[in-house]
Amino acid sequence: MTRDVGLDAPVRPVGVTGQGAMAVPADPAVAGWYRFGPAPGGPQGSAVLVGHVDGDTGAPGEFAALYDVRPRARVEVRRAGAEPAVYRVVSRSTVAKVGLPSSTFRRTGPPALTLITCAPPFVPEEGGYLANLVVTAEPWPA
């Protein structure tokens, strides 16, 4: 996956944790694709990719690049055996982790790409980051 802002991470399929949350790859250099939803480049629904903003040492993860992304930025997801899926960022928002809408993981409707990482505040005694940065992109205009 590559983007105007320089995010370049291999993508691995992920599922859900025992608590029912979307799993995130442990390595902050790797992106996770939510395998129970559409794949990037699919004809409908929201393909969801997730990654860490930083690691245990505090070093930035690949998804820290999302902090700098702006609308109209180009997102390209390279796919094995297929042309890259190309998107244009249309929005970004910060939502409480408990407030991530279920529509983020929709399987129907217009195709989209949703990129998710953690966002401040960081409160260690409450489990870490309390919010998510959500970047939404639509297929690049033909």
The reported pLDDT for the residue numbered 103 is 86
Task: Write down the pLDDT at residue 5.
Answer: 62
Res 142: pLDDT: 63
Pairing of strands 112-123, 46-50: parallel
Query: What global pTM score does this model have?
Result: 0.92
pLDDT digits (tens, 9 = 90+) for 8-55: 899 999 999 998 889 999 999 999 999 999 999 999 999 999 999 998
pLDDT band at 72 (very low <50, low <70, confident <90, very high): very high
The CATH number for 2-139, chosen from 2.40.260.10, 2.60.120.330, 3.40.190.10, 3.20.20.70, is 2.40.260.10
Q: By the 8 A CB rule, do 89 and 136 touch?
A: yes
Mean pLDDT, the chain, integer: 91
**Does the pLDDT value for residue 65 go beyond 90?**
yes
Q: Tell me what pLDDT residue 88 has.
A: 95
Local structure of 33: helix, strand or coil: strand
* Length of the chain (residues): 142
